[in-house]
Amino acid sequence: MKKLAILASGGGSNARAICAHFDSHPSIQIGLILTDNPNAGVLSVADDYKIPTMVLNKTQRNDSSYLLGLLHQYQIDFVILAGYLKLIPKWLINAYQDKILNIHPSLLPKYGGQGMYGMHVHQAVKDNMEMVSGMTVHLVNERFDEGKIIFQATTPLSPDMTSIDIAKTVLVLEHKYYSVAIEKFVNALK
Ligand code: GRF
């Protein structure tokens, strides 16, 4: 059994889709959900799926022996970011080399980097009159949104779409494909 930890800061809709996908999966399990936000929606996801969860404060997040100890205790093999807004420290990247995935709501390398999250991304896509957008799953390195891309899905845009329409359309793709991309990635490393 491969065990995944989800890190999320916000609404948690991707975390919910991932938990649904891997619920009763024969070889992949969500073993732990971590958040930096005591009000994160992901806490109710953890509750619904009976997954151990922890809200990490700043001291805990920056303490390598604490956090790596926690991941070790829950026998975590892969770390899945699902709307986690903090930069992942180098010691965590080194400990989980090429085993940390992130999802981004644009076709990277476009519209990524520091400050490019949530509606900032979709507004920039709209402002640039893009005719296509989508989602990217990538490996995490020390820079925001720059790790190796492992999966992308696209959607056409029309000029009458607002940034909110774009966000909704891309989120549907995220829910549909992130779990599948995770599953393929984890299975390929077996
Ligand atoms: C998603 O758009 C994801 O691509 C980005 O953060 C958002 C998280 O949304 N990294 P949710 O919390 O999963 O609803």
**pTM, full prediction:** 0.95
Respond yes or no on whether the N-terminal peptide bond of residue 109 is cis (omega within 30° of 0).
Answer: yes
Which amino acid appears at position 74 of this protein?
Y
Q: Which ligand 1 atom is at minimum distance from the Cα of 84? A: 10
Q: Ligand 1: distance of its center to the CA of 79 in Å? A: 15
In this structure, what DSSP letter does residue 109 have?
T
Mean pLDDT across 141-148: 90
Mean pLDDT of 17-27: 97
Structure confidence at residue 85 (pLDDT) = 86
The CB of 83 under 6 Å from ligand 1? The reply is yes
Q: Is the pLDDT assigned to residue 39 strictly greater than 90?
A: yes
Q: Given the CA of residue 12, which atom of ligand 1 is nearest to it?
A: 12
pLDDT of residue 82: 97
The answer to whether 35 touches 9, Cβ cutoff 8 Å, is yes
- For 70-122, what is each residue's pLDDT tens digit? 999 999 999 999 999 888 999 999 999 999 999 999 999 999 998 999 999 99
> Which of 16, 172, 174, 175 is the pocket-test mutation for ligand 1 (most atoms within 8 Å of CB)?
174
Coil, strand or helix at 135 = strand
- Cα 134 to the chain's mean position, in Å? 15
Query: Which residue is closest in CA terms to ligand 1's atom 5?
Result: 83
Confidence of residue 144 (pLDDT cuts 50, 70, 90): confident
> Can you count the helices (H) and strands (E) in the chain?
7, 7
